[in-house]
Structure formats: C-alpha cells, structure tokens
Amino acid sequence: MHAAWNDFKILVLDITTKDLSASCPTMTSLCLGPFLAVSDPVSSRAFGGHITRKCFPKQVHFHSRSVVFSSILCSATLSVLPELEEKQIFDGEKANLLVRDLRKGFDSGRTKSYEWRVSQLEAIIKMLKEREKEITEALYKDLAKPQLEAFISEVSQAKSSCSEALKELKQWMKPERVSTSITTFPSSAEILPEPLGVVLVISTWNFPFLLSMDPVIGAISAGNAVVLKPSEVAPATSSLLANLVEQYLDNSAIRVVEGAVPETTALLEQKWDKILYTGSARVGRIVLAAAAKHLTPVILELGGKCPAVVESDVNLQVTARRIIAGKWACNSGQACIAVDYVITRKEFAPKLISALKDELEEFFGKDPLESKDMSRIVSSNQFARLVKLLDEDKVSDKIVLGGQRDEKKLKISPTIILGVPEDALVMQEEIFGPILPIITVDNIEDCYSIIKSRPKPLAAYLFTNNEQLKKDYVDKISSGGILINDAVIHVATRGLPFGGVEESGMGCYHGKFSFDSFSHRKSVLYRSFDADSSIRYPPYTPQKEKLLKAIISGNIVQIILALFGWS
C-alpha cells in the first residue's frame, strides 16, 4: 500500500467521498475517521461537499474548513458544509427527551380522535402500496428472503392487519354498555376503551418488517403515541422503516429509534405505558426486569420448541408439504412458530422421511444451497451456532438428510436428524434454523410426556385423522396456540389471538386483540341526583340493615317484607 502511494505523482482530483472510500477505503477510515468520530468508510451521504485528494510527501495540517492528511503519503482536503453535524449518541437523556416530546403530543389529545387514527392507518396502506418493492428488496438484503415469501409473510400480512383495523375501528372504539344492579338504581354503565399513552415496540430480525409494523398498527388503532425500535440484526429493513415512518406518518406521535444494545438500554430506562417485545426469552427477562422498575405492563412474544406430532393415518404427501412449509419455507426455520421437532411412530418414521426428502427436492431442487426460494441464515453468529448444533458428537452421525452448509452464502441445506438423544444441544434449545430432529415413539400417546417435559411452546401441531386424538391433544397440551393438520398459518387468522404462555410469552395481539392490548378498558358508572335513599347513610338501624341485606341478596320478596318491617 505504502509503495503504491509512493509511486504516485502529485495529482489533484475532485471526487465525492463515496469515490474516495471506494478507491482507498483504508485511507478514508484512518484519515477521515478520527476527524468525524466515525470508523466506517465515509459515504457521500454524510457530507454535502467534495474531497480534493493529493499525494505528496509528508505534510499534515488542519484548519477550520479543510483537513489534510498524509500518514500514508496521501492527503485529502475536505470541504464541509456548515450544516454538517456529528452523529448524535442516543443515550438516556435523549431517550427521556423523546418520551417527553411524545407524551406532550399524546396529552394534547390529537391521537385519541378517530380521524387521526384513520389518517395514520391510511398512510400505512399508502406506504405499503407505494414502497412494496423497496420493502421486499430490504428483506432480501437482510435474509435473502424470496420476493413472494416476503410479500405473503410480511407485506401482505401488514396490509391485512391495517385493512381490518380501518374496517372495524369505529366498532372497536364504541363504549360497551353494561347492565347495572338494583344497588345503584337508577344508573347506567359502560366500558370505555382508551389509549394507554406512549408505548414502546421492540421488534426482532426474522420477520423484521411485519413484526415491527403489526404491533405499531395495533398501537395506532388504540390511539397511542409509539416508539419503534427495529432490530439492528436486519439493518436494511431497520433503515427503511426509519425512513418510511418519517416520510409517511405523524412524527409528533410515531417515531423510530435505530441502534443496538446501548439504544435499547436507553429506551428501557424510560417510563412507558406499555412495552411489546418480540425475541428471545433471555432478552425477554431483561425487558421484564426493566419494565418492573416502573410497573410497566408488557407483552412478551418469545418462542420455544414447537412440536409437530404426526400419526400414521395421515395423507403423507400433504403432511410432508405442510411440514416443509412450516419449517424450511418459513424463513429457513428462523421463526418462533416454525416446527422445531417432529414426534412420530418408530415404524412410520422412514415413510415420513422419504416423503419429506421427495418434497424437499421438488421445492428446492437437488442442491438446495443454490435455491433462490430459501432464505439464508441472518448472520455469521447464527450460522456458527447452528453448525455447532449439527457438529456435536451426539448429533453428527444421526443426520439422515442434508447437513451441507455454505459459510460464504450463510446457507444450510434442509437437514433431518433421526434418533437424536434428549440431552443433545439441538433438543435443549430452540433451533431457529433449517434443522429438524425426528423423535420416534412406540405409541403416539407417548408424545404428551415428551412435550410436557419442556417449557410450554408458542405453537403445537398435530397431523392426524383420528378425531379422539385431536380432542385429547387440544385438551392435554398447553401452548400459545394449536393447529391441527397444518403448521404456522393459524397466525394469519385475525380472529385468533397470537401470544405465548409461560416461557413462550405473555399477552397477545393481532386484530381486535391488538387494539385491546394497547387500550385500557375504563369502567364508567353514571348516576343522577334522584332517588337518593337514606338507607345507605348512618345511623344504621335494624330496619336499614334488614332492607340493605334484602337489596344485596336480590330477593324481591325479602325486599318487600323489609320495606313493611316484616321479618
């Protein structure tokens, strides 16, 4: 590098910062980094000026509007526009100011109106229509998610959620009339849904668009101000969400904060009116502990090992296709409701594996690592974690299909392992990837003890034509949700709540349940000044006592007797 620069003659070029980082990224990082307090290669978007680059022997000096460097026998003169600002650190103080600003907007009352809620929901619909291509492109950058899968599982679902809210919002907002008792006669009562206030949504990376926008849609429908913290593990989608929210929605009430652990920590230090977090149980505990300091209610959407029990009386081809759809075609298994492991009869396992193999080849070809229809693993860290699960001594010799991996592409082929021991890592943690263990049993009823030996899952699946087995499974298995003869698609049913139980989460959302989760159901009783009986006031005479007890009991005969002074 140094020798190459020594060979240069003095050369003056006007180039953009993008040109500079492309031609000499090391120089850009070393030279401009300290000046600008950043270490990434500089992009032209960071400045509104140009760089004049010169190469000449040892010369270094600084002045107010330019900087010259020559530590590697190269200099760059940077023209900085006056409006240039250093990157702001988002700390607890900034987070506090943000919450105060949004609370001020909420307290003005504007987010409570039906008109404001509708305007924001319509803006989201418009955003989804106009920017669909950019959304699917961002999802491809983050996860190599196929365009159709991205549209169906993220864009379309967000659009459906928004359309339902627009259609039903007036009905959701209506006070619910409640009957009153004789003790409050004459009176009327109602339950009034009101927004909670300023809420925080912390989303995750596996469905980074849907799991950001769906809760935000619910929070807006309920009339709240919202802060969205997208996952930094899906940076393209996070950046796009920040831009789209800024362009399309009311920034006095709806904001996006990008960042990682420091930014999330700063946000969690604040007092919110509700927090919705989607992610791992480990981080869920951190969120819950932070919320407890302010007695903030939370919705935790976590996960767990979601089982699929397969009886031998099924349509084998359809079952195989639906398991594949609920595992490998579901973001390459990177979903909290993906099939995590299968339980089936020992004698039926070879038939099931053969059917899965045939259908996998039909879907993804003979070399699934080259398939454009399968998402990649989100990061090198996640890739390494999955490889560790596969390479464990207890597991590596149990692979009956797949196991190939491409670290450069961050892809692992659909992998089936048979007869893995219970104490293997792959059976101790949520897999969250394209690995499917199959556990065999002598009797299908043995599935209950296996499933119950683990924390309650977010979803549990059963494939059978046996009606009694269906009833028993629903009755005996506790999970966030249950789906019979399919996988995953129950979350697309808006009339059903989506949420976990115990370690798979708490609280729920989707459709009306989102509105309810971000609302407070306020009890209101209306009375007039008429019929103000002295019976409720001291002094408490025996006659009053008899009448009050009769009224409380609701027995009309006793009330009449008490009024006449009869026992």
State the distance between the two ends of the chain, measured CA to CA, in whole angstroms.
108
Sign of CA dihedral 390, 384, 488, 498: positive
- At CA 40, angle to CA 38 and CA 43, rounded to 5? 100
Phi/psi for 506 (5° steps) reads -150, 145
SS3 519: strand
- Residue whose entry in the numeric block shows the structure tokens 């034509």: 465
Angle 63-66-71 from CA coordinates, rounded to 5°: 90
Can you say how many angstroms the Cα of residue 99 is from the centroid of all Cα atoms in its chain?
21
Give the C-alpha separation, 17 to 328, whole Å.
Answer: 42
- Under 8 Å CB-to-CB from 519, ≥6 apart: which residues? 193, 194, 195, 196, 222, 223
Active site residues: 301, 336
Cα 335 from Cα 277, distance rounded (Å) = 15
Sign for the pseudo-dihedral over CA of 508, 136, 282, 277: negative
Q: Decide if 23 contacts 38 (C-beta within 8 A).
A: no
In the structure encoding, which two tokens stand for residue 339, read together? 């099939």
Residue bearing tokens 């492991």: 341
